[in-house]
Structure 1
């Protein structure tokens, strides 16, 4: 399939930029609540990896899922990162400002015949970890039916090496799918390395299938450990007690929080107090970051 010239030109420019600048990382939270310590641990690991590589580190706000967004969270995310000394390069990028860009790529893929309309509901697919291909061989129609639009799926070749099944790239409610938007952004911003929590490892097959469909190479992916509460549950934004407000209310400063996060990662002894920059100097030459590919 032939990519439109303006998209090809953009990708070529960014490939050259990536090659010239070296490491380019990012942190991409959703503005659906305060950052909890698990989010902050991932941000710290991502920032350390970028700075240890003498690279750039960007902040992307994944705010496409409009009904779940909280307007106050956007500024709060930025202020929390600054308070910890995790400064990013350039202005924050909001995915909501790039909807037209994602739509251009979707239009290209649809014209290329690699997308199909899917009218399967969540109930239809319950218990099926991989999409069984129900709608790929039928004409489901792209318009409204029974007051519902279809989702758009990428037709992934059978027996592909990633085992993703046919990936949703636009949801039935009209929102761009997370998997698709994040792939387009990694490409268009020349991201070379993605550091994220181990809970997002399951997203990798779908994203790799999208890279393959676009004929593009993917970044290097790194996955860090998760944080759990006292009951063994993964930390959630629904629990405000796991954010920086609770820490500050107990008189803890940024040096205490950085030391706590770093000690939990095995980078410094328990009880350490240090700034993000001091931690960077500690780990720069140690190859000690607890990241798995």
Structure 2
């Protein structure tokens, strides 16, 4: 039987309040909603999971989540469906409260591939880039400038658990980020539709084993700009190379997440 049955209880209100950034920042906690992100949080960062909430039905459907949580001594609360729905409309019967963290670029060791998001505001895009970077084998993702909050619930959901697989960090100053990644031996390539370098040409050159100039095989930090206006001229000028993705059809442009996927996988292929 569920232990939590009152959707108006103080604990329920306290969890629901974590949907707001001021509360997250003040309490150092955030929500992880849905079976896949929660599964990865419990598997990869159980020490940061403060509480796990499941409906009785979800506990039966996802016994591996329940077993992993109990094996890591994570407090588990079986809850009525009404309670989970009040805590979060996106929980799908599974919800975790997790402690936030703060990472720095200096913690990276011999990074080969990094994604830097400059003033990326859309949480779905940011989360999808984190998921894509994880799939491409990237070393880290850095949210720079006025980018969306890393622990925004939609960002967390959109990562599909990848948030718990690789270092993801926030930095308020893009120029400092670029100085830091260069200090780690990475070249900086900006993705921009007006770039002088063609991504296909760079891939061909890397495959020839004799690239001249910009080399996709080198350790690289890819710089991606805002969804609406891209990278401002001063940020483009900070890059070592500016790369365009060739558009073969009539589409005017690609969205941020798609462009990031193509660039990150191009580097991952060349480096392999």
Where on the TM-score scale, by shorter chain, does this alignment land: which range? under 0.3
Structure with bigger strand share is 2
